[in-house]
Structure 1
């Protein structure tokens, strides 16, 4: 290897085995920290020769903890963080260990951005392979919608280039199917022009205003131009926000256009319909806005997430959401409602493996606590929110917002996430590229038994 092999008993082993979710506390036999792309072949060959279960780790931010494995071998790509920007063609090549912070730092120097998530410590690889919902979803779609091509190392150590023109079916599966088909050694994204300062901010509402504010938001969201992406959040905000210990409803927004006056006029419409109790808004450097919520998800937090897609935001659904959010009286859990449509919704359903393009909203309920004694109570709350929203749910689940609790029945879990038709197509890809299921530490698509 050009990198390092960290085994049990070695200095740095405990740090090497850790992932973002503090609930995941397992002990691999060894962590292979790749120093170059060619180390990937060596680690894959070692896993197959020894029969050790293999975990592949990019940024290590996966909520389900798939970046590590008990008594197995971890391929850690976290030191491969290079980002190369071709500003003339608006293309960006990204190594598999890069984070959103690495990506944003490189692209904004050239007045460009690649649509991504909302926490800068997130790994680009896992985000892109699963989806990539964030502050540019309505203006430019998911992260995977902006993937131009990918270089993949398969279980047979074949090095393949996947794009719309080459290995097109594999390219389809990579965009939403996660790490089921190989290790992506390089991503190439299409970037978009971005103003040096974006208009972004938050409108904050105390509990008595939630029903009226959420109903006003529902009306406002019906006529939004693509340039506006809002996210509604319910939580007790971190202390550094200076908002006290009570829960807040926040309407966060990013306006991806140089015409800030038009964006402010749009925000004024919501402000007039639902006057906030507090607010912050103005021109903001993109990396600053992209990292604004980092403190909510510190490394080592104990985490458990569930998600549901839906399209109604009428009086009944508003009432249910407010009832559920009113149950959050502690610092350590949040509910996000991502407003979709726009560019996201115009991608044909069959174009990628992402499970649902018709939903108007995607809810994520998540935890970020420290005390193991809270595990049962706070995971139960997330499950309750998920169950309570089922009468309004549409098909599909977003794998980047899923924990690992369905590992006892991976076939049904994958069918539920992707839907029967897409799951069938993903199984065919798995049979072709990973028939022995080497890449099973993910939201696993099982190959057909031989």
Structure 2
């Protein structure tokens, strides 16, 4: 019975704060959990429930902020005991918003950011909530780098489990190609190690299959040697030069060393670039070799046949380059992405790219084309779930706008360009570049992403380690 001196507002907030979770269950959880439990109505709940993508607005019944790896198994068991859906959040940079859930439990790993480097073996142990910048800052003093993504605020966990495209892909492969082992909490709440020698099928599955098989609490990577200064930069073209630049790029990328990774981008640059408000074609690159002079020659061979209107090219610290485009993807931006692989930049493809690129007379969408091959392409197709190692290019079409009034137009642009490029698609989906698609059949998406043979193998692993699909709030792979 409500006390006479207790206001209805307080009573209502207390009732609303624990939907589906009995008080005695919360008491039991607090006794085992060393982190912070955030309930609706509590101070900080609104901030705690927010995710990177501003389009995603969900209200969990409970946010459990882990303070130690041991907290993970506690929450995994708890979620099953109270029969509520469980979302796992690492660094929180997932475009689909898989790190949250309405009326369920969010396991937030964001406080687990320890990174330890063994300079002798060049291995790096990374906790589940670490960001790319945490790893880069830890490895750079030793002349090392783990091949990661292109935005320093990205979480290492989600990036790795999906594959890990970035600025070192041609030199050293995907992030998963550099993974040595992982510590994983399974749906049963057990802690297992996974590597080529221990639980090898599970190790295969987590290298591209997403967070379907458990919660990784620690990753161990083989780092790669990287000079203190990398030769990197952007060649920037106004619209009159696009056709010449694209044709030159198509030819140039057929015969360049593995040390050179490039990403071709169409967008209206941010105001800080001081390039005006017209769309631009940007060819960004990193030379991962120690001989900067050799890298300069490779870039000069492109510049000679496609002189840029503007260029910003120089040796710079790796951490500086890795954070160079962070401003494009701020937390809270409204985001929607699509992606596909393709193999040729013939005239038909160029017409689509130039037409769609020119349509962008706003700041708030863009599209990247990752040039692949090199170390990425030498990994056997069956070695990881990541699809299509033969792909020459990978397109990511993305929106990053602040105003809800622009939602329909920006999403339509992303969908329209992806639809135009479907005719040239070579197969596969990179799950880290897949946005939220309400009502999408998860099995159909998984089949499109991985193909039937890999999906069959992934479902076998899922059945073994998560037969009840506890870890389903992701780009889901249903058990067989």
Query: Is TM (by shorter chain) over 0.5?
Result: yes
Between the aligned partners of 1:406 and 1:433, the Cα distance in structure 2 is 27
Q: Provide the residue aligned with 2:188 in structure 1.
A: 156
Asked if residue 83 in structure 1 is aligned to residue 112 in structure 2, the reply is no
**Aligned-residue offset at 1:157:** 1.0
Q: Provide the residue aligned with 1:280 in structure 2.
A: 312
User: Is the 1:406–1:413 contact (alpha carbons within 8 Å) kept by the matching residues of 2?
Assistant: no
User: Is the 1:176–1:354 contact (alpha carbons within 8 Å) kept by the matching residues of 2?
Assistant: yes
TM norm structure 2: 0.93
Asked if residue 256 in structure 1 is aligned to residue 285 in structure 2, the reply is no
Equivalent of residue 28 in structure 1, options 60, 67, 73 = 60
Between the aligned partners of 2:120 and 2:439, the Cα distance in structure 1 is 45
Write out per-residue CA displacement over residues 365-402 of structure 1, whole angstroms, 9 at most, x where no aligned residue.
Answer: 00000111111111111111111011110111000000
User: Is the 1:199–1:255 contact (alpha carbons within 8 Å) kept by the matching residues of 2?
Assistant: yes
User: Is the 2:116–2:124 contact (alpha carbons within 8 Å) kept by the matching residues of 1?
Assistant: yes
**Aligned-residue offset at 1:408:** 3.2
In terms of Rg, which structure is larger? 2
**Aligned-residue offset at 1:407:** 4.4
Asked if residue 226 in structure 1 is aligned to residue 258 in structure 2, the reply is yes
DSSP-derived class of the 2:147 partner: coil
TM norm structure 1: 0.99
Q: Provide the residue aligned with 2:425 in structure 1.
A: 393
**Aligned-residue offset at 1:41:** 1.1
Between the aligned partners of 2:435 and 2:314, the Cα distance in structure 1 is 35
DSSP-derived class of the 2:368 partner: strand
1:284-363 pair list within 5 angstroms:
284-363=316-395
Between the aligned partners of 2:225 and 2:143, the Cα distance in structure 1 is 6
Write out per-residue CA displacement over residues 412-443 of structure 1, whole angstroms, 9 at most, x where no aligned residue.
Answer: 11111111111111111111110111000110
**Aligned-residue offset at 1:66:** 0.2
**Residue ranges of structure 1 left out of the alignment (5+ in a row):** none
Equivalent of residue 162 in structure 2, options 100, 123, 130 = 130
Equivalent of residue 242 in structure 2, options 174, 198, 210 = 210
**Aligned-residue offset at 1:325:** 1.2
**Residue ranges of structure 2 left out of the alignment (5+ in a row):** 1-32
Between the aligned partners of 1:243 and 1:298, the Cα distance in structure 2 is 20
Detail structure 1 runs of 4+ shifted over 3 Å in the superposition: none
DSSP-derived class of the 2:448 partner: helix
Between the aligned partners of 2:412 and 2:65, the Cα distance in structure 1 is 36
1:98-109 pair list within 5 angstroms:
98-109=130-141
Between the aligned partners of 2:266 and 2:382, the Cα distance in structure 1 is 33
Asked if residue 171 in structure 1 is aligned to residue 203 in structure 2, the reply is yes
Write out per-residue CA displacement over residues 138-183 of structure 1, whole angstroms, 9 at most, x where no aligned residue.
Answer: 0000001000000110000111110001100000000000000000
Asked if residue 383 in structure 1 is aligned to residue 410 in structure 2, the reply is no
Between the aligned partners of 1:440 and 1:431, the Cα distance in structure 2 is 12
**Aligned-residue offset at 1:323:** 1.4
Between the aligned partners of 2:54 and 2:37, the Cα distance in structure 1 is 23
Write out per-residue CA displacement over residues 334-380 of structure 1, whole angstroms, 9 at most, x where no aligned residue.
Answer: 01000000000000000001011010000000000011111111111
Q: Provide the residue aligned with 2:41 in structure 1.
A: 9
1:61-80 pair list within 5 angstroms:
61-80=93-112
Equivalent of residue 175 in structure 2, options 143, 161, 164 = 143
